């Protein structure tokens, strides 16, 4: 029900950002190191990281001239709960269909 998931799902709607997140699964990483593993430029990675950060999916920490980015476990716990709840409701909606579909209900 929360509106946080809106931004999170928007952020995960891009395959490059999902790849970044997967890369961070091995542990925090500075921007440059991260960009080396992708065929796109470092600023592009930086922009993606901003989106992920605004969505709360990643956390950043300055470390000298570098900046480490890592996953935010709480965000993924939140998403898990979201789909847990969603699955329950979807199942209920589905079952009510099988038992008695009322397609032509008026507004």
Query: Any residues with CB less than 8 A from the CB of 25 and at least 6 apart, and which?
Result: 71
Query: In residues, how long is the chain?
Result: 107
Q: Which tokens sit at 61?
A: 């920490």
Query: Any residues with CB less than 8 A from the CB of 62 and at least 6 apart, and which?
Result: 68
Which positions from 19 through 78 interact with a copy of itself, judged by CB under 8 A?
24-30, 33, 36, 63, 66, 68, 70-73, 76-77
Distance CA 76, CA 55 (A): 11
Which residues sit at the interface with DNA, rule CB under 7 A?
13-14, 16-17, 30-33, 39-44, 46-51, 60, 62, 64-67
Residues that bind a copy of itself (CB under 8 A): 6, 9-10, 12-15, 18, 24-30, 33, 36, 63, 66, 68, 70-73, 76-77, 79-80, 83-84, 86-87, 89-91, 93-94, 96-97, 101-103, 107
């Amino acid at each position: 029900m929360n509106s946080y998931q809106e931004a999170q799902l928007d952020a995960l709607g891009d395959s490059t950002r999902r790849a970044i997140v997967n890369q961070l699964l091995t542990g925090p990483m500075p921007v440059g190191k991260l960009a080396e593993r992708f065929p796109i430029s470092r600023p592009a990675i930086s922009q993606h990281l901003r989106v992920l950060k605004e969505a709360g999916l990643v956390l950043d920490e300055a470390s000298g001239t570098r900046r480490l980015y890592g996953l935010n476990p709480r965000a993924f716990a939140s998403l898990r709960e979201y789909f847990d709840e969603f699955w329950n409701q979807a199942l209920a909606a589905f079952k009510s269909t099988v038992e008695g579909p009322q397609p032509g209900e008026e507004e």
